[in-house]
Amino acid sequence: MTKTAVSLLGAGQMGSVLGRELLASGHPITVWSRNPERCEPLRQAGARVAESPLDAVEGADVVFVSVIDTSVTASLLTAPDVAAVLSGKDIVEFSTGFPTAANELGERIEKAGARFLVGAIMDFPSVVGSPDCLTMYSGNQAVFDDLRSTLDVFGTAKYVGASPGIANVLDNGVLIEVGGVAFLEGLAGVVGEGGTVEALKSAVPAMMRTLSTVIESVLEQVTTENYDGEDASIDTHAELMTLNRDRLAAAGVRTDITDAMLGYLQEAQRRGLGNAELGAVYQVMRRSPSSVT
């Protein structure tokens, strides 16, 4: 069966991987990039290289976009010559951006007669194409349904809502970046106290299971606003965090992340939440009350 011909705007690290997976699955693709040399590996793999965004979009029924952020996507797709040929096309946006920007762009795309879907790839480019790569999609569900077999070439596809910006909300890099930096601070402490990276590797599976349990518990607490429990109170976490901070300092390690986490715990204590479970710290972090769904 003949696969749908698609276009790809953007051939950076993620865009190149998306193009590679599309080609591997049999989709003829046309690719465009501000830096033409980035298209060369895809050209050698069988892609046609477009001379301009209009050249890429005009002959395609499906257009994938993977550029630096949503504002760049908007500048490409709302340029008068490109906007004039959008009617009847499906646009799938993989660029990072503010949820409000995705919603606004979605309105403009739909007004131009096209259908708009946002995809948030929840993993690194090296994982794209594997079932382990989860991509969350939001926006026009008909696009998701109609293109499902194509979207599946990137990994596991999940539709999460009609508002285009929802995928961007869930694609919150802070969740990974802060966790990653905090881990490195802890790793520096392990090494500073005489441990080894190799020894720590053996403990990673158990650590990840524990972390998964903690995250699931905290999400349940925040969703239900019920912070009662018997796992570990904020007072207990603050005591342990103080000990960890002192150990890191003694090992000659900076404690910036640990100090910040301890500050949240101590603020929760000052608000009378010492006996509550860890999820209650969420109340301290929110600048204004809001419901959680």
**What is the domain partition of the chain in residue ranges?**
6-170, 173-285
8 A C-beta contact, residue 126 and residue 173: no
> How big is the chain, counted in residues?
293
Q: For residues 169 and 37, which has the higher predicted lDDT (pLDDT)? A: 37
Going by CATH, does the domain composed of 6-170 fall within 3.40.50.720?
yes
- The Cα 147–Cα 141 span in angstroms is 10
Tokens linked to 270: 């000052």
What are the pLDDT digits (tens) for 80-131? 999 999 999 999 999 988 999 999 999 999 999 999 999 999 888 999 999 9
206-264 residue pLDDT tens: 888 888 999 999 999 999 999 998 888 999 999 999 999 999 999 999 999 999 999 99
Q: Can you give the pLDDT at residue 170? A: 85
User: Tokens 């999820």 belong to which residue?
Assistant: 279
What does the mean pLDDT of the chain come to?
A: 92
Residue 124's nearest CA partner among 166, 86, 180 is 180
CATH 3.40.50.150 fits 173-285, yes or no: no
- Residues 122, 128, 129, 131: what is their CA dihedral angle, to the nearest 10 degrees? -30
Confirm whether pTM is higher than 0.85: no
The mean pLDDT value for 137-160 works out to 96
Query: Distance between CA atoms of 77 and 30, rounded to whole angstroms?
Result: 16
Q: Would the CA dihedral through 82, 87, 92, 98 be positive or negative? A: positive
State both tokens at 243: 């000990």
The identity of residue 165, as a single letter, is G
When pLDDT is cut at 50, 70 and 90, the band that residue 171 belongs to is confident
